[in-house]
Amino acid sequence: MDISRARELSDQELLAEITSARRNLYDLRFQLATRQLSDYSQIAQTRRAIARLLTVQTERELGGRTPAGTAARRGGKS
């Protein structure tokens, strides 16, 4: 899932997607442990999708504000 699609989701849909993605990651790890997983890149893709969804969730919780110190870390003016 790309970030623009994640931003279009409602809060409930976003929470459902996070839950679904985490369950999918659990299943992929189980398949890896039982040597049934054929495409190992799915694990990384799922982890990145979860990170994107959590980023959108955090953005909404902060109300569009940027966390303190972000500009300093990016090389901006303090």
CATH architecture label of 3-63: Orthogonal Bundle (1.10)
**Residue 76: is its pLDDT beyond 70?**
no
Which residues fall within 8 angstroms of residue 43, CB to CB, at 6 or more apart? 25, 28, 29, 32, 37
For the chain, give every domain's residue range: 3-63
Closest by Cα among 56, 53, 50 to 26: 50
Q: Dig out the tokens for 14 from the structure.
A: 């976003």
Is the predicted pLDDT of residue 28 greater than 70, yes or no? Answer: yes
Q: What is the DSSP letter of 75?
A: T
pTM of the model: 0.77
Contact 59, 9 (CB under 8 A): no
Is the pLDDT at 62 greater than 60, yes or no?
yes
Q: Could you report the per-residue pLDDT of 3-24, keeping only the tens digit for each?
A: 999 999 999 999 999 999 999 9
C-alpha atoms less than 13 angstroms from C-alpha of 40 in its C-beta half-sphere: 4
